[in-house]
Structure 1
Amino acid sequence: MLYKAPSDGKWGEHELDYLLFTIRDVKLLPNPDEVADVKYVNRDQLKELLQKADAGEDGVKLSPWFRLVVDNFLMNWWDHVEKGTLREAADMKTIYKLK
């Protein structure tokens, strides 16, 4: 996905990002300069996290690109993961432009 997001008025993001899915246990080693926290959640926990971020509660902040993914794609992809049909949702040709 190609997305653009303002940040603090001086800096912002304008990136082409690839989203990859895998269904297996993985060890995450995120770059601490890029990722403040990682959390595994189920759908209900994600909805609660989104509500807290929207309300500014508990210091919950989500990256702009993650919110775009949630709002545009994630629930459909999640449905496919649960059904075992994720390949049907794969789109290797389209670049989605999101703001």
Structure 2
Amino acid sequence: MGRTRGTPVDYILFLTADVTVEPNLNEIRDYKYVDKSELQAMFEDPANSFTPWFKLIARDFLFGWWDELVKRKDADGKVHAKSLAGIVDGSKVVKMV
């Protein structure tokens, strides 16, 4: 997720993997790993700003997907995004091609 104070949050990266982040500094100034409650608190803080589409995605999809993924942890405690197959309603998703 790209974010700096005074700059709207306008990127979402939703994945289940161990990764090394090497952002292109021409595109992403900052990133932060957050849990669900942290992101919800960020929405409540007026010092933060979010792009309108980020708010819509979080409200309509992200928080529900997050809950569902946590419920679907495997025996090792890992979460697999592919486990959302079959429950995600794609009818409200607008894809840019």
TM-score by length of 1: 0.55
Q: Distance in 1 between matches of 2:62 and 2:23?
A: 21
Shift of 1:78: 0.3
Q: Distance in 1 between matches of 2:65 and 2:87?
A: 7
Q: Residue 32 of structure 1 corresponds to which residue in structure 2?
A: 25
Q: Distance in 2 between matches of 1:90 and 1:21?
A: 14
Contact 1:80-1:89 at 8 Å conserved across structures: no
Q: Residue 87 of structure 1 corresponds to which residue in structure 2?
A: 85
TM-score by length of 2: 0.56
2:25 partner amino acid:
P
Q: Deviations over 1:4-47 (max 9, x none)?
A: xxxxxxxxxxxxxxx87431211222332332321111121111
1:40 partner amino acid:
Y
Contact 1:77-1:86 at 8 Å conserved across structures: yes
- Gapped runs of 5+ residues in structure 2? 1-11, 73-82
- What value does the CA root-mean-square deviation take over the aligned residues? 2.9
Q: Residue 10 of structure 1 corresponds to which residue in structure 2?
A: none
- Gapped runs of 5+ residues in structure 1? 1-18
Shift of 1:68: 2.1
Contact 1:80-1:86 at 8 Å conserved across structures: yes
Higher relative contact order (CA 8 A, sep 6+): 1
Q: Deviations over 1:24-82 (max 9, x none)?
A: 21122233233232111112111111111xx2x2xx23333322211110011101210
Shift of 1:90: 4.3
1:70 aligns with 2:41: no
1:69 partner amino acid:
I
Q: Residue 16 of structure 2 corresponds to which residue in structure 1?
A: 23
